[in-house]
Chains A and B, each alone.
Chain A
């Protein structure tokens, strides 16, 4: 830097890009910050790529999504199809469905773009979930990163919701069925259900306005919110600097890895290209959501083997598994789908939001942490996480109970009962096995000379929340006595 001669620098500064940069800096300033940004250090660990994967899936979603909006019309008028897909000739359908079919068959590169978009949506949610698992199992959500954890959970919710909104736009038989179920779950909410359903759908199902509204939500409202939240998420990552695993000179006071310029920037942009490449290959070669086979939505019809996209599977599975239990009292009722639908979703995301605070409460550990935990060094957290994962995995698989039954020639009833048992029995078993495994692995490390970090004692007694007041009094007593 200091070796550049003034003459050489002058010559370089005549380049157009440099002159543009100078022009901007003269008006905005910021060379200092830009230099800091170039020097930001990223730790070199494969699991840190997961969030980037989600980011790049979002980039692909934006690029392909913008293209799709040029051809898709979300109308609900009934029209007759005359396009190039012969089996649907003369069929009455909504304008939304027709334009989606035309987009697939009559717009050049339309089908590839649509399929890339759908695959990218699946990858987007999947990589968010895996990224969340990495953050959870390594304890990266601890102080000072609790806010960023919550933004991440919010992004997960919005990604799931926008994915659902997206495939519901096409008004095919499968997505119409999905909307019907979403409507019924909204309806099931005590007190407010009928109002909420009516306001959301613009009336009784199928509702005259739902496709138009989902369209605005899907292409404008939620993408804008998601983009904004991603921006804040990344800003906070820069603000907090990255977490890292301990050892090899990595401490709470430094970050060791690769600077953005040029190593990390090149690798990360390369990763973006690879993500887009894989999605392009999937979009071209792996058929997804062939709406022309499902036909236009008819509220009185349904096809068997109706499975939603994977990230909605846990909700559909829990709807299938939950027993026929409806509560009726004083002339009012809480219908069965409320518990496995609205309530389960509320509890799931509520617990996710609250996790950093819950863990801090139960461990009493409110210190700043930049060094990550190895999952085996935190057996309680790890086994709770694995148990939770097993619960949602069973629910997701249960969404295919009819497909499993027909594929393996089993009775649907037997499959359902098996899943009902598994969803209760498997999580505790998974927790116990994980707990044992963590301890064995750690013992082996210790035998090899590894010094594990202090393990905070879990204050299980806090579970007896009705004794909190007494506990607080007891903990205060010595200090007042002294």
Chain B
């Protein structure tokens, strides 16, 4: 505690000394800057607002006040001289014993009716369990939706604005982002249609999935589901801009670099009589990132 009768660090009669004068000048100046900033801010706002000026004047208004207060404290208030004693935080043994006695007296009254205690506990527990159930309302049961997309046999592929895609629309080295017709908002079904300038080495059983060397992969990275947006046509690599996973388009979109551990699922496609690209079924596996029962 500071001693209130102790003299101020700068006695009254020395108030005219250079030091005090300087402190007073600085503080006054700071508060003046603050007043100017606040008024200027009001004017700027009144005249329609301007973000940079608003920032500057708000800074002056607040900063002037802050500097003024700190300078005031430094020049005219005591510092570093106050001492406070610490007291023991822990309770004494007597206090603890007194508490224990009081508590156990009440506890004894309660536990004499052991049936009531047990039933009361059970009732609270049952209520607790019952109150967990409404959490279930927060979302649907994670079912098949996690593993399948709207793609079915015969569904045509469209661009994000719903335009049907013809096989001829994808040039050599070209990439188009496609969706199943009628489902352009299905986030798990975004598809990359690519026509590499070298033949795709089809996986066993997928030989007929690449009509005219046109190949369709899920656009969702198998790492954490970012769209695999960058196609480097010269080296036939797909790169995910989020975490740099890299997939080899010619070799079943196998991950060759970065944190992704799985190939991009492939979409079986064919070209119908009118030249439109059509899905022959769903992707070769669940799209996007992995999860616990993906393989089940």
Q: Which A residues have a C-beta under 8 Å from some C-beta of B?
A: 1, 39-41, 44, 108-109, 111-112, 115-116, 144, 177, 180-181, 183-185, 187-195, 197-207, 209, 239-241, 249, 252-259, 262-263, 266-267, 269-278, 280-285, 298-306, 316, 319-326, 328, 331-337, 340-341, 368, 370, 401-402, 412-413, 416
Contact = CB atoms under 8 A, between A and B. Distances in A.
A151 B39 CA distance: 41
Nearest to B191: A300
A20 B188 CA distance: 64
Nearest to A368: B89
B94 interface: no
B296 interface: yes
Q: State the main secondary structure of chain B at its contact with A.
A: loop
Given A204-B146, A266-B72, A299-B187, A199 B139 contact: yes
Interface residues of B, number: 85
B86 A255 contact: yes
A193 B56 CA distance: 47
A-B pairs, 7 with minimum CB distance = A284-B55, A273-B66, A335-B290, A277-B63, A270-B69, A194-B142, A184-B224
Nearest to A263: B77
Given A112-B54, A300-B160, A304-B229, A319 B223 contact: yes
Interface in B53-80: 53-56, 58-63, 65-70, 72-74, 77-80
Interface stretch (B110-118, B251-259, B273-281): B251-259
Interface of B: 1-2, 4-5, 45, 48-49, 51-56, 58-63, 65-70, 72-74, 77-86, 89-90, 135-136, 138-142, 145-146, 160, 177, 179, 187-188, 190, 219, 223-227, 229-230, 240-245, 255, 257-262, 288-296
A241 B63 CA distance: 30
A319 B225 contact: no
Nearest to A182: B224
Contacts of A341: 224
Contacts of A205: 187-188, 225, 288
29 contacts: A41-B84, A111-B51, A112-B54, A115-B51, A187-B291, A193-B292, A199-B139, A204-B188, A205-B187, A205-B288, A241-B84, A254-B83, A258-B80, A259-B78, A274-B62, A276-B62, A277-B62, A277-B63, A284-B52, A298-B160, A306-B226, A320-B244, A328-B295, A332-B295, A333-B292, A333-B295, A336-B259, A401-B244, A402-B244
A188, A272, A324 interface centre (most CB from chain B within 10 Å): A324
Nearest to A413: B257
B135 to A, nearest CB: 7
Given A262-B73, A266-B70, A177 B89 contact: no
Contacts of B296: 331-332
A368 B87 CA distance: 12
